[in-house]
Amino acid sequence: MKQEIDFIKFSPTQNMTILVKTVHAAEQYSHIATRLMSYDNVYAEQVGFIEPTTRPEAAAHLQMAGGEFCGNACMALAAHLATEAGLAQQDCVDIALDVSGTDQLIMCHVKKQQNEYNCQVTMPVPRQIEQRTIRYEGMELDLVIIRYAEFIHIVIEVDDFDDIMKKRAQTLARLLGLTLGDKLIGILLYQSHSAEMAPLIYVSELDSLIWERGCGSGTASVGAYLAWSQQREITQYIKQPGGAIKVIADWNGTELGGITIEGSVGIVAQGKAYIDAPMEWSGVNA
């Protein structure tokens, strides 16, 4: 039995993102996302579901498949809503979103530029930032742990993105995902001399471990780390494999203020996907 899925595919800094328009039961999200993300289907790095919101000030609710928060998916949904509203070239619109993984309302400022949308997005502010040195795989590793309500990012400063460090990051992400119980673990390898980041994202609900081409929430976390460590406001373009994302992290003298990221989003595909439905969806016990 095949199930039909209405989808839109976006490229926010090449962090390929699928948003599902059709209505599905929440317990189906994980299976749908896993199939859509696979190489033999639509193929992407993450999947979100567009839902109605109960918050009157928000235009829509974005529910990521693993219950995580995703800044790039917020940009994608804002671009979609701007398209639906018929936003003209060089015009701007402000869109508020209700998003999984955070209680904060996410504000998006969208401007249409040729075939893309420039999006500025307010991001969740970390609850805590702390630095630790751990003994891991026979070496001392300096970590900066950035805690949010339902996810954790870890910034590790490196000299280069070598395969050994990447393999250590993958092992660490899975280990933390199993032990901490957070919906998302991000390991952000960061080169300070070149302002480059290699973001690894692990979503435990999907058992999805991906080196992303671009990461909006990871960019925000690196900006938060830089503001915290330097005790000042930060405006920085963070280079990533898919391009650069701008972050502005405010510092009010004693702690972090607001965090905003800015990037471009392209709509690359729209249509129907077909996936195999588990037997229990059709009322047959597996």
What lies within 8 Å, CB to CB, of 20 at 6+ separation is 5, 6, 7, 32, 36, 47, 48, 49, 50
Written as tens digits, the pLDDT of the chain (286 aa) is: 789 999 999 999 999 999 999 999 999 999 999 999 999 999 999 999 999 999 999 999 999 999 999 999 999 999 999 999 999 999 999 999 999 999 999 999 999 998 899 999 999 999 999 999 988 777 788 899 999 988 999 999 999 999 999 999 999 999 988 888 788 999 999 999 999 999 999 998 899 999 999 999 999 999 999 999 999 999 999 999 999 999 999 999 889 999 999 999 999 999 999 998 776 655 443 3
Q: What is the pLDDT of residue 284?
A: 40
Q: What is the pLDDT of residue 79?
A: 97
Q: Residue 198 sits in a domain of what CATH number?
A: 3.10.310.10
- Residues annotated as part of the active site: 70, 215
Residue 246 and residue 231 share a domain: yes
Q: What is the pLDDT of residue 93?
A: 98
Q: What is the pLDDT of residue 30?
A: 94
Residue 31 and residue 66 share a domain: yes
Residue 185 and residue 68 share a domain: no
Q: What is the pLDDT of residue 279?
A: 63
Q: Provide the whole-model pTM.
A: 0.92
Q: What is the pLDDT of residue 278?
A: 75
Burial 129-144 (b: 16+ CB within 10 A, else e): beeeeeeeeeeebebb
Residue 6 and residue 41 share a domain: yes
Residue 137 and residue 94 share a domain: no
With contact defined as beta carbons under 8 Å apart, do 144 and 227 qualify?
A: no
Q: What is the 3-state secondary structure (H, E, C) of 42-88?
A: CCCCEEEEEECCCCCCCCEEEEECCCCCCHHHHHHHHHHHHHHCCCC
Residue 86 and residue 140 share a domain: no
What phi and psi, each to the nearest 5 degrees, are found at residue 119? -125, 130
- How far apart, in whole angstroms, are the C-alpha atoms of residue 93 and residue 78? 9
Residue 133 and residue 118 share a domain: no
Residue 59 and residue 178 share a domain: no
Q: What is the pLDDT of residue 286?
A: 35
Residue 110 and residue 167 share a domain: no
Residue 139 and residue 175 share a domain: yes
> Could you tell me how many residues make up the chain?
286
The structural domain count of the chain equals: 2
Give me the domain span that covers residue 162.
Answer: 128-259
Residue 156 and residue 100 share a domain: no
Residue 253 and residue 176 share a domain: yes
